[in-house]
Chain A
Amino acid sequence: MLPLGSVCPLGVRLLGVCSRVPVVTCVRGITYGENDAVNPNFVNRNPRNMEMLRLARKPEGWNLEASSRTYWYKLVLEKSNRHSTGWVEHHTGTPVVSASTREWAIKQHLYSTTDTNAVYNIGCILARRCLESGISEVYTELDQYAESSGKIQKFLSAMKEGGVELKEPRFIHELSVGMFSRRRPALPWQVQEEGVSSPPSPIS
Chain B
Amino acid sequence: MWAAKHSFSLLGGTKPVSLQVTRSKWWKKIIHNVYPTLQERFEELDHKQKDPELYAPVNIGLPKRRPPRRELLESRLQHLKELRKNKTLEKEAWKGNLKLDLDQVQADWETGTGPHQLRVLAQHYGIFDHLFGNAYFVPRIFLNISYDYDEDTVSPVYRGNTIKPKEAASTPDIQFHSDPDSLWTLILTNPDGNLLDNDHECLHWFVGNIVGGDTSSGEVVCDYLQPFPPRGTGYHRMVFVLYKQHQRIDFSKYRREQPCLSLKDRSFSTLDMYQEQQDFMTPAGIAWYQADWDPSLTDFFHNTLKMREPVYEYDFPKPYLAEQKYFPLKRQFNTYMDLHRDPKQINKEILLERLKKLHPFGPEQPHLPFPAAQPIHHDLSSWERRDLKRKRIGEGKYYELFRGSNRPV
Contacts and interface: CB of A to CB of B under 8 A. Distances in A.
Do A and B actually bind?
A: yes
B363 interface: no
A104 B93 contact: no
Contacts of B92: 111, 117
Given A49-B235, A52-B235, A24 B313 contact: yes
A127 B121 CA distance: 15
B295 A106 contact: no
**Interface size, A (range):** 35 or more
Contact of A201 (B154, B231, B347): B154
Given A35-B307, A42-B233, A121 B159 contact: no
A2 interface: yes
A116 B102 contact: no
B407 to A, nearest CB: 11
A158 B86 CA distance: 25
A14 to B, nearest CB: 9
Contact of A131 (B161, B305, B397): B161
A189 B293 contact: yes
Contacts of B295: 192, 194
B83 A111 contact: yes
Contacts of B322: none
Nearest to B118: A133
Interface stretch (A63-71, A75-83, A141-149, A172-180): A172-180
**Interface size, B (range):** 35 or more
B303 interface: no
Given A43-B198, A52-B234, A109-B100, A197 B130 contact: no
Nearest to B155: A200
Interface in A90-106: 90, 94-98, 103-106
B270 interface: no
Most B Cβ at <10 Å: residue of A8, A175, A180: A180
Interface string A164-204: 00000000001101111010100111001010011011111
B16 interface: no
A30 to B, nearest CB: 8
A177 B264 CA distance: 35
A113 B81 CA distance: 13
A39 B197 contact: yes
Contacts of B236: 44, 46, 49
B83 to A, nearest CB: 6
Given A2-B42, A179-B338, 18 more contacts: A24-B232, A24-B315, A26-B310, A28-B310, A34-B262, A35-B306, A38-B230, A44-B236, A53-B234, A94-B123, A103-B113, A108-B83, A132-B159, A179-B397, A179-B399, A189-B231, A189-B232, A200-B167
Interface of B: 38, 42-43, 45-46, 76, 79-80, 83-84, 86, 89-90, 92-94, 96, 98-106, 108-109, 112-113, 117, 120-121, 123-126, 129-130, 149-150, 152-156, 158-164, 166-167, 191-192, 195-198, 230-237, 261-264, 290, 292-293, 295, 305-308, 310-319, 338, 343, 346-347, 395-397, 399
Going nearest first, the 9 A-B pairs with the smallest beta carbon separation are A134-B160, A105-B108, A132-B158, A35-B307, A200-B153, A111-B93, A24-B312, A38-B195, A174-B316
26 contacts: A26-B310, A38-B195, A42-B312, A46-B126, A48-B235, A50-B234, A52-B235, A94-B123, A108-B76, A109-B104, A109-B105, A110-B93, A111-B90, A111-B92, A124-B102, A132-B160, A133-B158, A134-B162, A179-B338, A179-B343, A179-B397, A187-B314, A197-B166, A198-B162, A198-B164, A202-B153
